[in-house]
Amino acid sequence: MVRTAPLLTYGSARGRWTLAATVGGSAIASIDATAVNIALPAIGNEFDTDLSVLQWVVTSYTLTLAGLLLVAGALGDRYGRRRVFDIGIVWFALASVLCAVAWNPETLIGARALQGVGAALLTPGSLAILEAVFVPADRGKAIGAWSGLTGVASAIGPFLGGWLIQAASWRWIFAINLPIALVVVLVSRRHIPESRDPEATGRVDMVGGVLVTLGLVGLTYGLIQWPSVAALGLGVVLLAAFIVWETRTPAPILPLHLFRSTQFTATNLVTFIVYGAMGGALFLLPLQLQEVSGYTPLQAGISLLPVTVIMLLLSARSGALAARIGPRLQMSAGPVLVGLGFALFGMIGSSGTYVTEVLPAVTVLGLGLAVTVAPLTATVLAAVPARHAGVASAVNNDVARAAALIAVAVLPAAAGITGAAYMNPAEFTDGFHTASMICAGLCVFAGALAAVTIRNETRPPAAAPSQPWHCQLDAPVPRAAVTPSPGAETAP
């Protein structure tokens, strides 16, 4: 008999172990993602390579993650969320080992692409498992705890990465994933009940996943290796083929009908611009801090800590305010604040201190993100019927990742940073300041776009987030209501 209720309670031993495993899985991906940017100068110096290789170290990971994220969520619904989550953890760990022993840039880039596949497999499962296996009364507590603990892990990531790079080698930011992954898999196998969606019986849209991934590869290659017109053209053709395929396949990974909602489309456009600007600026910032300002990896790693602290403290209040007054004001003003933070990046040079140059910028950036992110998430969910709230959030997540991917490919060239410029402090500083102003302008435009297009809905969100804050770069909210698989045991 198929059980129709989740199984675990928040206070049970099995519930706590389940929460720990999902937090651990999300943590290794978030820590790794934040630590890699801090490691870029060390990687570039060891391999004596130019900026395009460092771009590929970042984008190869994001390519496979963004391209396969929606497919991976469907695989979990179809074949079991815990199973796909465990496979993702093991895959991510093995790819991390390959990153740690990479003997040349090409090996590292390939290993990072494999890491992205593992991250795509584990990321949707972490929240979907909590949604599936906890009783409704405790689901909010579990997801809230997951958000808070994952936020702590995100804050630890740059600090831990900077310390490992400074004390040993950039390779250790990858090697440390192996023991963590081993513990997560052992706990998962012992304590997490399996769950799947009983209605997910058709074929998973693998064709769509392949088309969008290869399309992003072509587009990114053409932008980084500019002007590679053939790669750009192939990428555009493949992405167009993906859209055509999604309109014809019976079970698309990207339900295009969601974009008939002006509110949904506008919110995703704002997401694309803001997260694109953030991805591009935060790719360049560690290089500026270490190569120009003379920061150690550890100092660079903790420089953005105020952003995480501010978001943890204020995002829940921001979401509550948006629920009272509507999202339009915050989604209009928030991106402008983010843009002001990026404009203040223009103060960062070789002669100032953290307090006078970096702290004002990251403080304003954190305030802007706190004002923007929670209303943005709630607006995405409110723009579609309740039954589509999960997939709407997953699409918004993927939009944010794709935006960061394209920004890392485009922004350096747009700012005049090419080749080995990051090793020339004066040349790189000029480019960094130009890039900061480009990002600032984009965010101001996003705020204006929101002011024109976002409406204050009178109905409540379709499925308001129960966690304190939800950043699209963490993980998508589960797609829909779920049912644990037959034979799952009741929690003690």
Beta-carbon contacts of residue 296 (< 8 Å; ≥ 6 apart): 162, 166, 290
Q: What is the pLDDT of residue 200?
A: 65
Q: What mean pLDDT value characterizes the chain?
A: 84
Question: Could you read off the pLDDT of 154-173 as tens digits, one per residue?
Answer: 778 888 888 999 888 999 99
Confidence bin at 387 (pLDDT 50/70/90):
low
Average pLDDT of the residues in 38-59: 92
| Separation of alpha carbons 78 and 56, rounded Å | 32
Closest CA to 39 of 175, 184, 181, 179: 175
Q: How many CA atoms lie within 13 A of 327 on its CB side?
A: 33
At 138 the pLDDT is: 80
d(CA 435, CA 283): 11
What are the backbone angles phi and psi of residue 15, rounded to the nearest 5°? Answer: -65, -40
Tokens linked to 352: 């100032």
The Cα–Cα gap between 390 and 482 comes to 11
Is the bond leading into 360 cis (omega within 30 degrees of zero)?
Answer: no
pLDDT top residue among 159 and 328: 328
User: Which distant-in-sequence residues (6+ apart) come within 8 Å of 152 by Cβ?
Assistant: none
The one-letter amino acid code at 263 reads: Q
Who wins on pLDDT, 486 or 357? 357
Full-model pTM: 0.86
Residue 423 confidence (pLDDT)? 80
Give the 3-state DSSP-derived string for 249-265, with helices as H, strands as E and coil as C. Answer: CCCCCCCHHHHHCHHHH
In contact, 24 and 180? CB cutoff 8 Å = yes
**Range in 46-55, 99-108, 478-487 the model is least confident about:** 478-487
Q: Answer whether residue 99 shows pLDDT above 90.
A: yes
pLDDT digits (tens, 9 = 90+) for 303-313: 988 988 898 88
Residue type present at position 93: A
Residues 253-267 have a mean pLDDT of 89
Q: Which two tokens stand for residue 434?
A: 């130009």
The pLDDT score that the predictor gives to residue 371 is: 92
Average pLDDT over residues 398-420: 89
- Selection from 376, 412, 406, 417 nearest residue 393 by Cα: 376
Q: What is the three-class DSSP state of 195? A: strand
According to DSSP, the residues that pair with 196 across neighbouring strands are 483
* Residues in contact with 342: Cβ distance below 8 Å, sequence separation at least 6, in sequence order: 277, 281, 361, 365, 436, 437, 439, 440, 443
Listed in order, strand segments (DSSP E) in 156-246 are: 195-196
CB atoms within 10 A of CB 289: 25
pLDDT at 482: 37
State the pLDDT confidence band at 353, using cuts at 50, 70 and 90. Answer: confident
Q: Cα separations (Å) of 132 from 185, 249, 327?
A: 18, 27, 29
DSSP 8-state code for residue 473 = T
Q: What is the rounded CA–CA span in Å between residue 313 and residue 238?
A: 42
For 453-467, the pLDDT digits (tens) are 999 864 444 444 444
**% residues pLDDT > 90 (the chain):** 41
